[in-house]
Structure 1
Amino acid sequence: MSFDFRGTVVVVTGGAGDIARAFSARAAAAGAILALVDRRADPLQAAVDALPGVGHTAHLCDLTDEAAVRSLVDEIAQLHDRIDVLVNNVGMTSSERFDQRSVDSIRQEIEVNLLSPLVLTRLAVPLLHRSVDARVATTVSLGGIFPLGETPIYTASKFGLRGAMLSISLDLRARGITAGSVLPSATDTRMLRQEAIDGGNSLQFQDKPQPPDAVAKALVSLLDRPRLEVYPRRSESVLVRVAMLFPNALPRLMTLFRRRGERGMATYLRHLENAGHIVRRDGAPELVEPR
C-alpha cells in the first residue's frame, strides 16, 4: 500500500538541503503539511516557499542545542499537536584529515550527525504517540556500513547512527512507532559538491552520484512499505556489505576502490564546472551558491 500523506504533519530536518527539498516537494504534492527545520534562515524560507499547498512552516533551530530542540518540539506541538512523520535528514562532513582536525570539529560532527537525530527523535516521541500511524525515517549513508578512510568522523557518526536507528526501530515498534533508515551512496548535493572541491573522500565516486530525488523516492518507499533499511542503489549496498565480510582485506581493496574513485571525482568536478556549479578563482574551484 502507498503511504497516505493527506493531512499528515511531516517534520524534516536539514530542511533547506537538496534531499530534504526533493522529499518535501513529493510529500507536499501528496497533501502533507511540512515543518522544515534548518539553521540557515534564507535557504530554509526559500525551501518552504517553493512547496505546493498551504500551511507549511519554517523552523530555525540549531539541532545541537538541546534547549533549542525542546523549543522546536514545543512550537510544533502548538501548531499541529502531533507529528505523523519525522524525517531525520540533517548531516555534515569535513574534508580535513583526522590528524589535522581540531577536537572541537570532531565533537561538532558527531553532535550533528549522530546525537542530534537521537535527541530530536527522543523528544518528539510524545508528539509521535499522538499520531494514529507514527513514522520515523532517517537518512544514514552507506558510510554507515563501509569505512571511508578520508572521513573517519563521518564514518563513525554514520556507523553509530545506523546501529542506533536499527535498535530504536526494534524498540519503538512495540510502542506504535514505525522507524527505518535510508542508506544512500554519493548523492549530488551541495555537501557532496563542496567535498569534491575540497578533495574529500574519493571512495564515494565509484559511480556517478545519484540525484537527490533518488533518495527522496527511497524515503517515500520506506513509508509505503516499512522496513528497517532501504538502499537507493541496491547493487552498491551489496558490494559494500560483501566487502565488509573480509575486513582484513580492506587495505588492498581500498587501493582498487580509490583509483576508480579518484577518476570518478575528477569526472564529477568537470561536470560541475561545465554545468556552471563551480567557477575557478585564481585557478582554484569554488562552489557557486544558488540564487
Structure 2
Amino acid sequence: MTRTDRGVALVTGASSGIGRASAEALARAGFTVFGTSRRTVGSGPNGVTMLVCDVTDGASVDALVSTVLSQAGRIDLLVNNAGIGMLGGAEESSVAQVQALFDVNLFGVMRMTNAVLPLMRRHGEGRIINIGSILGLVPAPYSAHYSAAKHALEGYSESLDHEVRAFNIRVSVIEPAYVRTIFDQNGIEPDSVLKEYDRARAEVDALLRDVMPKADRPEVVADVVVRAATDVSPQRRYTAGKAARQVSILRRFAPSEMFDKSLRKQFRLPV
C-alpha cells in the first residue's frame, strides 16, 4: 500500500460509531487508514482497510501490528477507540466483571500502545490518541466502573505523554459527552442486579432516552480526532462537543457544592 502524505493510521473499534467516523475522517484528511473490529465486518468504513483484532489478546494485537507493517511499512498514528460500556450501581457488578471492562477499556489501550511504541521510537515520531470520556473528568452516578476506567486512562495517557515526548511522540485524550451511537446498547449489564436500585436505574434509563436523540453525532468526535492528529502542537486533552466543553468548564470553575447539586438534579437524584 502506498503511504499518503499524512502517514499511516491505525484505529481500533472502527466498525461503527466514533471509531468508524474517525477512520473515515482520517482517510479524508490524507492518512492511509487501517481499522479493526473483533469480528470480520461486511461493510467497513469508506477508504479504510479493515482487519480483525481482539485488544484483550496480546497475540491478536501483535499479529495486527505485523500485518499493518507488512502492508504499509510503518504506523504513524494510533487511535485507541475500542471500548465497552457499563451502567449500574457500583455494588451490582462483581470484581470479575469489572476486570473484564478494564481489560478492554484500559489494558487493551496499553497492549496496543506497547505494540506500536517501539516502531514510533525507531521512526522518531508518532501520535497516540486515546478516546476517553467526559466521565474521565467528571464521574457520574451509576457509572462508577466505567468512570474509573476512563479516569485511569487519563492518568496513563498524561504520564505516557511526558515519557515519550523525548522521542517526538505525543499522546492525547479525547473527551466526548453523550454521542449518538449503539455503544450504550452494547454495554455490559450488571451481573448482580439489586432491587434497591430499580427506581434509580429507571430514572437513569429515562434520562438517556431523553438526551440521546439530541446527543452529538460521531462525526463531531471524529473532527476532534483529526485535529489532535494534525495539530502542530497537540494538546494533552481535547473535549469534543458543546456538552463536554460546558461540563469541563463548570467542573473547573463552579463551586463544588453547586456542581454536585446540578449533577444530582440532572440524574434525577434527591439533592
TM-score, normalisation: structure 1: 0.76
The answer to whether the 8 Å contact 1:83/1:130 transfers is: no
Q: CA deviation at 1:206?
A: 9.7
The answer to whether the 8 Å contact 1:34/1:57 transfers is: yes
**Secondary structure at the counterpart of residue 70 of structure 1:** helix
Q: CA deviation at 1:118?
A: 1.5
**CA-atom RMSD in angstroms:** 2.8
Counterparts of 1:79-158 in structure 2, within 5 Å, are 79-131=71-123, 133-158=125-150
**Secondary structure at the counterpart of residue 41 of structure 1:** coil
Q: Which amino acid aligns with 2:29?
A: A
Deviations 1:97-142 (A, max 9, x none): 3322233221111111111101210121122234464111111110
Q: CA deviation at 1:186?
A: 0.9
Q: CA deviation at 1:211?
A: 0.7
Aligned partner of 1:241 in structure 2 is 252
Aligned partner of 2:46 in structure 1 is 51
Structure 1 residue 166 corresponds to structure 2 residue 152: no
Q: CA deviation at 1:5?
A: 6.2
Percent same amino acid at aligned positions? 27
Aligned partner of 1:228 in structure 2 is 236
Q: Which amino acid aligns with 2:103?
A: E
User: Which of residues 70, 74, 94 in structure 2 aligns to 1:78?
Assistant: 70
Aligned partner of 2:194 in structure 1 is none
Structure 1 residue 14 corresponds to structure 2 residue 13: yes
**Secondary structure at the counterpart of residue 114 of structure 2:** helix
Whole-angstrom CA distance in 2 between matches of 1:177 and 1:208: 36
Identify unmatched segments of 5+ residues in structure 2.
190-200
Change (3 A) 1:235 1:144: same
Change (3 A) 1:239 1:208: farther
Q: CA deviation at 1:170?
A: 1.4
By relative contact order (CA 8 Å, sep 6+), the higher-ranking structure is 2
Aligned partner of 1:259 in structure 2 is 268
**Secondary structure at the counterpart of residue 127 of structure 2:** strand
**Secondary structure at the counterpart of residue 183 of structure 1:** strand
Whole-angstrom CA distance in 2 between matches of 1:17 and 1:241: 32
User: Which of residues 211, 216, 221 in structure 2 aligns to 1:210?
Assistant: 216
Aligned partner of 1:177 in structure 2 is 169
Q: Which amino acid aligns with 1:32?
A: F
Which piece of structure 1 moves more, 123-132 or 178-187? Answer: 123-132
TM-score, normalisation: structure 2: 0.81
Q: Which amino acid aligns with 1:36?
A: G
Q: CA deviation at 1:222?
A: 1.2
Aligned partner of 1:281 in structure 2 is none
Whole-angstrom CA distance in 2 between matches of 1:79 and 1:258: 48
**Secondary structure at the counterpart of residue 46 of structure 1:** coil
**Secondary structure at the counterpart of residue 153 of structure 1:** helix
Q: CA deviation at 1:95?
A: 2.3
Q: Which amino acid aligns with 1:237?
A: S
Deviations 1:191-216 (A, max 9, x none): 13566x99557489499311101100
Whole-angstrom CA distance in 2 between matches of 1:96 and 1:237: 23
**Secondary structure at the counterpart of residue 143 of structure 1:** helix
Change (3 A) 1:205 1:146: farther
Aligned partner of 1:269 in structure 2 is none
Identify unmatched segments of 5+ residues in structure 1.
261-291
Deviations 1:50-73 (A, max 9, x none): 413xxx422211101122212222
Whole-angstrom CA distance in 1 between matches of 2:152 and 2:46: 33
Count of aligned residue pairs for this structure pair: 247
The answer to whether the 8 Å contact 2:180/2:213 transfers is: no
